[in-house]
Chains A and B, each alone.
Chain A
């Protein structure tokens, strides 16, 4: 498959997944707001911190009011990680590989983009909650249509890698933010407010019901355990890395647990680490440090994918 095409399908999936995750962040915060006792300061700034673009936001908007933050994350066409921008990039990537993906996939992305674009052109703010639901649903629909209509070939596997790396990264980010920024002052620990926030965190990963089935009680350690290490939950970091690794080895034909290129080595090592870690080990070394390191390694995998499969080598002049 053409390197450019593999690159595009990888990013197509990353962008769709990214848009969905932004919708999740915003939606959960909106919900949290409705549950918070009056007088509690609204926590909108941490949301921008999950994106890593606080500096840019401050420059452009100043104060982190609900309205500003939501606008920035959803409809700001100059902000490359807004839902609108993600969809624009996703669509552009899809457009450049229309002959590779199924026409149903193209129609889903196109529809998705048009839906978001229509919403942002309405003068008044939309019903945010309804809009964010639509975004999440459209992302699921895209993933489902891709799964059901595209041959599970090399291109499909590149798409899977893109989706699962993006999801692992975003799960790490929201967990990190909750732990270090949302974490209320000491006297709030164990209070109702704290529990509401942990529930909100689980909900942002659609993990609340599934968590309850396994764990019943809400404790920070158990929530972190579920979102980082749970083997069978599709948004946990470990699950995402397992899936990405499987797709990678489908592409290369190398057996799992062996490696022939730097991507296989980096990703395999990361996944294997998670196989043998206990959440207690992670807490002892520090969850933030752990998550920070994890994100860097995921970035490293992304870089190596680019170098191994997508990079267009310069051609020697006399070739």
Chain B
């Protein structure tokens, strides 16, 4: 199989300028693939899938009582990002995360951005991620969003846009690391000829970011990863990250608040915990403060947290920044807090709670994508051009009933990357989720999760909707 016949068509293609004409950065890869004997690429693709399954790089399917796991479909043609492009993204992401952190701090303290009229106060109060019990909270170093996964897309012209920010507990970084491991075995020669930036330092950076939150006088702080347990969809990732950092993976039932500290139950009694990398949502953290029916968290944890005797990453309350209505204001935030222009643009966004914008949305449902402000994973979404009249009507009703909860965006023609499909190369739409760590400095891992819509013509890249992944190669200068 060769790239000769691959036609990028009327799309922005990440690897090809035109039919038979790879971008300069992708040329060594294209040459290598073209030189493979017939059938070899398919064989390698299968070997890579088997390797991932054997490694247990899987996600869980909720409905299955036996806890069946599926492997995330993996395509072995990587996506390549040139050094200059990456530099631009890196600057833009740092600017964005820095700003969002200022916003989070402001919103839980003085709320200047509200009193200055940049964001209507109603929007904050009505955001489900805004947690009243976090008012006045002082996380170590005033850092709230330690780990962020920002979703980026490119349009037909190749321009980058931010699609959303994930600040509660973004997942997927384990695929980035494991995909890379498999790709090195699949195309070792290409790695030798191209200067691909390594992604493996993520775990070390993550550990440093977490240790940075521990009280400074502690000799050997205890860091844990808090998971909802083995039936969670991202359990593999939780355990993988704990393992890579060499810290304990704990569940709520392993933890208890005793003597004013968070402690874990060990074979030798209780042991104090200093930093929690939580992979459960805010509202499940402490049944005494949030959802009383939750068994995932630890009763009394919020008190310990507020007293500063334990650090939590990401800080409680960061979910307010995941709200898609608040996302629409990030460019304004950048101007407000930094007095700078945003380096990365948002996708143009219509806010349904504003009357004239709602009117536009309702009139153009067949061209827009409508999203619920607080859903993730591709749920609560209408893709106008692909929807039936009934579906559009249903969303129109929903929007009118709860305008605050919906936004709409134009359908972008997402950029594509060739993927193997039925023994041929087929251009498939992709997005990109880089991972950003905020510790002493802001670090952007050079790479990220490229999600790919592996259904012909589909624009939906979520794993829960049949999407897959690709390795992302960020080239060095």
Contacts and interface: CB of A to CB of B under 8 A. Distances in A.
Interface residues of A, number: 28
Given A2-B248, A4-B251, A110-B56, A312 B265 contact: yes
A36 interface: no
Given A92-B67, A95-B230, A319-B258, A3 B267 contact: yes
B54 A251 contact: no
A251 B243 contact: no
B5 interface: no
A116 B54 CA distance: 14
B257 interface: yes
B250 interface: yes
Interface string B227-238: 001100001000
A103 B235 CA distance: 16
Contact of B54 (A88, A111, A312, A319): A111
A99 B249 contact: yes
Interface in B248-280: 248-251, 253-254, 256-258, 264-268
Contacts of A45: none
A154 B266 CA distance: 11
Contacts of A5: 248
Interface in A93-125: 95-100, 103, 106-107, 110-111
A98 B243 contact: yes
A107 B265 contact: no
Contacts of A251: 267
A309 B266 CA distance: 8
A154 B55 contact: no
Contacts of B247: 99
Contacts of A277: none
Interface residue SS majority, chain B: mixed
Interface in A1-27: 1-6
B239 A2 contact: no
Interface string A167-180: 00000000000000
Contacts of A310: 267
Contact of A98 (B239, B248, B254, B265): B239
A315 interface: yes
A313 to B, nearest CB: 8
A156 to B, nearest CB: 13
Contacts of B265: 2-4, 312-313
A2 B253 CA distance: 11
A307 to B, nearest CB: 12
Interface in A67-97: 88, 92, 95-97
A88 B240 CA distance: 20
B242 interface: yes
A300 B67 CA distance: 32
A6 B248 CA distance: 12
Interface of A: 1-6, 88, 92, 95-100, 103, 106-107, 110-111, 154, 158, 251, 309-310, 312-313, 315, 319
Given A1-B266, A251-B267, 20 more contacts: A2-B248, A2-B254, A2-B266, A3-B254, A3-B267, A4-B265, A5-B248, A88-B66, A95-B230, A95-B239, A98-B239, A99-B225, A99-B247, A110-B54, A110-B56, A111-B54, A154-B267, A309-B267, A313-B265, A319-B258
Interface of B: 54-56, 66-67, 225, 229-230, 235, 239-240, 242-243, 247-251, 253-254, 256-258, 264-268
7 nearest CB pairs, A to B: A99-B243, A99-B242, A98-B239, A309-B267, A99-B249, A99-B239, A6-B267
29 contacts: A1-B266, A1-B268, A2-B248, A2-B264, A2-B266, A2-B267, A3-B265, A3-B266, A3-B267, A4-B251, A4-B254, A5-B248, A92-B67, A92-B230, A95-B230, A96-B229, A96-B230, A96-B239, A98-B239, A98-B240, A99-B225, A99-B243, A99-B248, A99-B249, A100-B243, A100-B249, A107-B56, A251-B267, A319-B256
